[in-house]
Chains A and B, each alone.
Chain A
Amino acid sequence: MDWILVAEQALNGLQFGLMLFLLAAGLTLVFGIMDMINLAHGSLYMVGAYLAAAVMAATGSFLLAIGAALVGTAAFGMLLETTLLRRLYQRDHLSQVLATFALILIINEGVRMIWGAQPVMLNTPAALSGPVELLPGLMYPAYRLLIIGVGLAVAVLLYLLVTRTRWGMWVRAGASNRAMATAMGVNIRWLFTAVFGFGAALCALAGSLLGPLLAVQVGMGESILILAFVVIVIGGIGSIRGALVGALLVGLVDTCSRTLLPALLRQLASPEVASNLGPALASILIYVLMAAVLFWKPQGLFPARG
């Protein structure tokens, strides 16, 4: 097998995994601290991508587009939290599922009313549209390299923020024992609005960075939401480290199996069988991975609660 193909796929997997991490980080903190299932987390990712596309179309500046998406989505997320989601913390998971499912419908329809049913264009900035030669013979798109760079930088920053700062200490305290953290004087109510806004900004970052690679369209949040849930369950709910490991694992397995598995099958079986079975096996693989992890470690790889 061609090593260039393998290296390319590994980089693609890393890039996708880092973007998944941006989504999973907010999701796992909300889940870990407030014990709240937020199905509408993917909607924030969609809102971020649409905001970026709108500002990009109006101004032509990619940096401005990302900035506006971050600020706008964070504000939207905090608004949702203070008006609606706050009422759901004390309720059971089923109520949270139903309420946030309703939010998905409302936000999807709202976006469709504003931007229409057709996918919206968000182009790669011209300066980054070419390929870069990483190693002799290995050409890789500059834009994807940028995503990897930003993703890595945010992952490191977030890790430092959660493990090294007072704010991060509160978050970890809230995730491992909410009642105790409240008793020790952490203002959970305020902290959570902040975490929610921060998570929304991370969603917007992922949405506006992935926008040029995938289509910006209504419903784009749902499929990636399922993957983000897979990530945090594999990693262990409430754990940032778990979310990072889980996201990289899912990103690499998903991306690599999509191209490498059919190629591998072609060498073992007839081309027809390979082209039928390959994509199915590739799609199934991350769910097999999740089932296997839960079978051996029912609490995920890095459980946050002791």
Chain B
Amino acid sequence: MRTSLLHHRGAGRWIWPLLALLAALPPLLAAFGLEFYVGVASRILIFAIAASSLNLILGFGGLVSFGHAAFVGLGAYTVGILMDAGVSSAFIAWPAAMLVSGLAAALIGAVSLRTRGVYFIMITLAFAQMFYYLMVSLKAYGGEDGLPLPARWALAGLDLKDDASFYWVALALFAAVTLGLQRLINSPFGWLLQGAKENETRIAAVGGRVFAVQWQAFVLAGAIAGLAGALLANLNGLVTPHLMHWSQSGQLMVMVIIGGAGALWGGALGAAVLLLLEEILSGYTLHWQLALGLALLLVVLFAPRGLAGLWRRRASHG
């Protein structure tokens, strides 16, 4: 039952079987001799976190940020630089990454939110490019070649060098982030954010502080992207400026749009579909980008509200 247009249900009764299935994935894959795919699954979960954070401002807030990869990259560099200095505790690295990315988002958001529409897209891109070139030029942290991480985190007795343990940590964080976002967008804060997407003037007229709400959402999305970056740094064992390249921001945007902008599971769905398509198509053909492009084109033409939109439409008809 939908109480209002602004209410977004979680996965409902499906959540427990789904979580159980996801948690059982590493032993299942191992049983079929497909251990390699545990790393792929971790990657999908990490990008699902990053795409979900972008979906908060893009899908629910209508703010098309073209620089979201900057926050992922800043989180990753925070971890890399801490590790370089000998700090390898995850309990220090995670909050630090979120803090650095969140602070950057606070500054960028304060300036960018003065503009709207295409100008907002371009100004967020501009700031992301500044961070990209800054990291390219910082020779102390690897410059263009990037910064290799000497080790993975130590996390309260868990050995994250084990791919399955790393996957479970990523899964736990993904679940926490998704639950948190669901609570947030169904709160008064979330209603104001979604309302401002439809009509800013009206929200302001009923007393909503539009700028404050959008800015706080922007900061939060940046911080969560920083967390995803922290995980990504650990998964790859390497941090490069390429993480912040505009094409990475574009990829996050594509994930949100194919999954379904403004649907709770849109970011996660898009991340899974895009990364799996890449993985599968590149196994079949050298020209997999052609096939990927055609698949994306089909989504635009036949699923205007993303894949989550298809499902929702069927649910509301039935």
Contact = CB atoms under 8 A, between A and B. Distances in A.
Interface of A: 31, 37, 84, 87-88, 91, 93-95, 97-99, 101-106, 108-110, 112-113, 222, 226, 229-230, 233, 237, 276-277, 279-280, 283-284, 287-288, 290-291, 294-295, 298-300
Interface stretch (B41-49, B172-180, B231-239, B284-292): B284-292
A291 to B, nearest CB: 5
Contact of A94 (B64, B138, B301): B64
A229 B297 CA distance: 23
Contacts of B297: 84, 99, 102-103, 106
Given A94-B257, A102-B297, A284 B287 contact: no
B74 to A, nearest CB: 16
26 contacts: A31-B118, A91-B300, A91-B304, A93-B117, A94-B253, A94-B257, A95-B257, A95-B304, A102-B292, A104-B293, A105-B289, A106-B289, A226-B129, A230-B126, A279-B137, A280-B136, A283-B137, A284-B129, A284-B134, A287-B129, A288-B130, A290-B122, A291-B111, A295-B111, A298-B114, A298-B119
Contacts of A226: 125, 129, 246
B293 A94 contact: no
A105 B293 contact: yes
A233 B58 CA distance: 20
A276 B64 CA distance: 33
Interface in B103-117: 111, 114-117
A99 B115 CA distance: 25
B160 interface: no
B168 interface: no
B289 A109 contact: yes
Which of A103, A112, A279, A280 has the most CB atoms of chain B within a 10 A radius of its CB?
Answer: A280
Q: Is the interface of A mostly helix, strand, loop or mixed?
A: helix
A88 B116 CA distance: 21
Which of A88, A94, A237, A280 has the most CB atoms of chain B within a 10 A radius of its CB?
Answer: A94
Nearest to B257: A98
Nearest to B250: A101
Contacts of B299: 98
B289 A294 contact: no
Contacts of A88: 300
Given A91-B304, A230-B122, A233-B119, A106 B293 contact: yes
A109 B290 contact: yes
A287 B123 CA distance: 8
B133 A291 contact: no
A103 B293 contact: yes
Nearest to A223: B246
B138 to A, nearest CB: 8
B187 interface: no
A102 B293 contact: yes
B273 to A, nearest CB: 13
Given A98-B299, A109-B293, A233-B122, 16 more contacts: A37-B118, A87-B301, A94-B58, A102-B292, A102-B295, A103-B297, A105-B293, A106-B294, A109-B289, A113-B290, A226-B125, A280-B136, A284-B129, A284-B134, A287-B130, A298-B114
Contact of B133 (A31, A283, A290): A283
A291 B123 contact: yes
A275 to B, nearest CB: 9
Q: Is the interface of B mostly helix, strand, loop or mixed?
A: helix
A102 B296 contact: yes
Contacts of B289: 105-106, 108-109
A104 B297 CA distance: 11
B161 interface: no
Closest 8 CB pairs of A and B: A280-B137, A105-B293, A106-B293, A102-B296, A109-B290, A287-B126, A283-B133, A99-B300
Nearest to A99: B300
Contacts of B304: 91, 95
A284 B111 CA distance: 17
Contacts of A230: 122, 126
A299 B120 CA distance: 11
A233 B115 CA distance: 12
B127 A287 contact: yes
B52 to A, nearest CB: 16
Contacts of A91: 300, 304
A113 B246 CA distance: 25
Contacts of B287: 109, 112-113
Nearest to A279: B137
Nearest to B292: A105
B131 to A, nearest CB: 9
B165 interface: no
Contacts of A99: 296-297, 300-301
B137 A276 contact: yes
B258 interface: yes
